[in-house]
Structure 1
Amino acid sequence: MANTFGQSYGLTTLCPLINGTDGHSAFDKLTRHHIQRLAEDEGSPFTKVPNTYFARLFILNDVFFQQGNSVARDHLKSKYLVFTSNFHGDLDTYLRGMWNNAEADVRAIWQYAVAFDKVQSADDFVAYIKKCQLTTSLFFNGSNDISLAEQLKSLYVKQAFSEFAMAHQGKPAAELRAAFSEFLARVQLDNLSTPSWQPGQTELTSMY
């Protein structure tokens, strides 16, 4: 399938937005404003969704294409909320994870999408997104095809080890061996939960 690469999945959806206003602002503008105000990094709603590698939201107004030596535009009947995500695992499990872990955010983001008012459960959300789904052509898997927890742990160990190496340059062999044993005990290589990077985290608190 074009949507998958190993254990990774590339999701692309176009959800039509209702043509209308709340009396003051068009629904597409309200949706765009909400997206722009979403927290980033560790505050992002997608940090709550298990196994999310990457997620993106934007509004599609029109479609542009090359026509001869000029650029032409197709006027769409609706504006579209575009949602793309790369994640580890299967689609149904991922979408249920979105609903079960970030339902309030999902409802707020999709509230002006056509027919979304009928979505009242995780199963409804899975069915709704699948109706809006496009095939992800030429899907490039930028991950190493392991779970998010494993990737975050690997990033943590990599940076922690770099700090260890910098902090212990030139130490006597016996002192270095003792320090490395302490380092291994602290990073707990077999524990994926802690210590580790957290979803959305951008900086690691220094160990030294």
Structure 2
Amino acid sequence: MANTFGNSYGLTTLCPLINGVHDEQTSFDKITRRRIQRLEEDAGSPFARIPNTYFARLFILNDVFFQQGNDVARDHLKSKYLVFTSNFHGELEPYLKGMWDNAEADVRSLWQYAVAFDKVQNADDFIAYIKKCQLTTTLFFNGSTDVSLKEQLKALYVKQVFSEFALAHQGQDAAALRTAFNNFMAEIKLADLDQPSWAPGQTRLQNMY
């Protein structure tokens, strides 16, 4: 089904940017591009604060691209576009509300110079705006597992710490290994998805051993 794959959703949006320049100096698309480039990455990214985000990407589309020769008539875009794509767990409207609720300042900054975004004043307006800019994501395939982000982060955490456990306890006798493993299972709290676990956007884990 378009846009969805199991419990995951593939969002693709193209938001036209205002043509012209700010204060007769810098074009609105360049200002937006610089703001994208200055976003923090990993755990500091605004998308790390948005619940159930598997993957998100922002970039500026300057024009359409052609691979044909120079003798082919070419169309050109009338505006540059802010492209936003995201793969996430769940449905579209709750995700966009979570985006507004958890990263409103970043959303306002990034979309400030998108056409008609000045009319967006709250979460409902933002949801309606993004829907107007949305393209159908056809042939969508989710490259992640079809479970919530919390479950995936917990699985990544367990995989990492179990590898460290195995390396740290090589060569131990069976009795010592069983005791260590029981302690390990108590520490990782397998049924608790909140802690200990990976944090959204986290890229490395401090050694336990």
SS in 1 for 2:62: strand
1:20 deviates by 1.6
Q: Which moved more, 1:60-69 or 1:174-183?
A: 60-69
1:66 deviates by 3.5
SS in 2 for 1:162: helix
Give the number of aligned pairs. Answer: 208
Letter matched to residue 12 of structure 2: T
Alignment of 1:63-102 (within 5 A): 63-67=64-68, 73-102=74-103
Structure 2 CA distance, aligned partners of 1:44 and 1:164?
A: 30
1:189 deviates by 0.3
Alignment of 1:25-104 (within 5 A): 25-67=26-68, 73-104=74-105
1:72 deviates by 6.5
- 1:132-174, CA deviations, whole angstroms, 9 ceiling, x for partnerless residues? 0001122121111000000000000001001001111110111
Structure 2 CA distance, aligned partners of 1:69 and 1:196?
A: 54
Name the counterpart of 2:184.
183
Any unmatched runs of 5+ in structure 2? none
Any unmatched runs of 5+ in structure 1? none
Name the counterpart of 2:201.
200
**TM-score for both structures, normalised by structure 2:** 0.96
Letter matched to residue 129 of structure 1: I
Name the counterpart of 1:131.
132
Instruction: Note closer, same or farther for the CA distance 1:186–1:73 as it changes in structure 2 (3 Å cut).
Output: farther
Runs of 4 or more consecutive aligned structure 1 residues displaced over 4 Å after TM superposition = 68-73
Q: Does 1:15 align with 2:15?
A: yes
Structure 1 CA distance, aligned partners of 2:34 and 2:161?
A: 38
Which has the larger strand fraction? 1
Structure 2 CA distance, aligned partners of 1:149 and 1:72?
A: 50
- 1:57-96, CA deviations, whole angstroms, 9 ceiling, x for partnerless residues? 0000110124368777532110000000000000001000
SS in 1 for 2:131: helix
**TM-score for both structures, normalised by structure 1:** 0.97
Structure 2 CA distance, aligned partners of 1:194 and 1:95?
A: 26
